[in-house]
Amino acid sequence: MLSLQFQCAAAIYERIKALDLELSELDREAFELGEEISEMMVAANLTDADVARLADLAGEVMRSHRVTRDDTSGISMYDGDDGLPCLCSSVHLAVSYEEASDMNFELAELVANATPSLSPNRYIIRFVGRDEHNA
C-alpha cells in the first residue's frame, strides 16, 4: 500500500474476492488494510488523488532536505474532533527532531498555499525525526 492508492487497491481486492482467488496471508492483510482505509476515505470525502497530492507535497519537502523515509514509517487511523475518521502517515526520517519539525511547518505552508486547495484535516502527513522514533 506504499503507493497510497487505497481506493484502487480496495476495488482490486473486491474483484479478487469475487473471483475467489487465494492470497498469501501478507497480501490479504495488506488488501484488508487498504479496504479499511478506502472506507474511511469515502466517509471523509477523500480520493486517492487527494492523498497523492499531499504525498507529492511531502516529497517536495523531503527532496529539498535530501532525505528519504525509513522502513518504520506507517499509517494510522483516528477519529477527528467531529467524529469522522482521519488518516495520519508518520514518515520516519534520519534527521533531528528539530529538522523534522521544520519540515512539518514547510509542508503545512505548501498545503496552505496549494491550488486547488487541499483540506488537510482528513489526511495528515507528519515527519518524525530520529529523536522521536528511537526514544
> Do the beta carbons of residue 89 and residue 126 sit within 8 Å?
yes
Q: Where are the beta strands (DSSP E) in 7-107?
A: 74-79, 85-92
- Parse the chain into domains and list their residue ranges: 6-133
Where does 6-133 sit in CATH, by number?
3.30.300
The model's pTM: 0.72
What's the DSSP call for residue 122? Answer: S
Tens place of pLDDT per residue across the chain (135 aa): 344 566 666 677 777 777 777 777 777 777 777 777 777 777 777 777 888 888 899 999 999 999 988 766 777 778 878 777 778 888 999 899 999 999 999 999 998 888 777 666 678 889 999 865 554
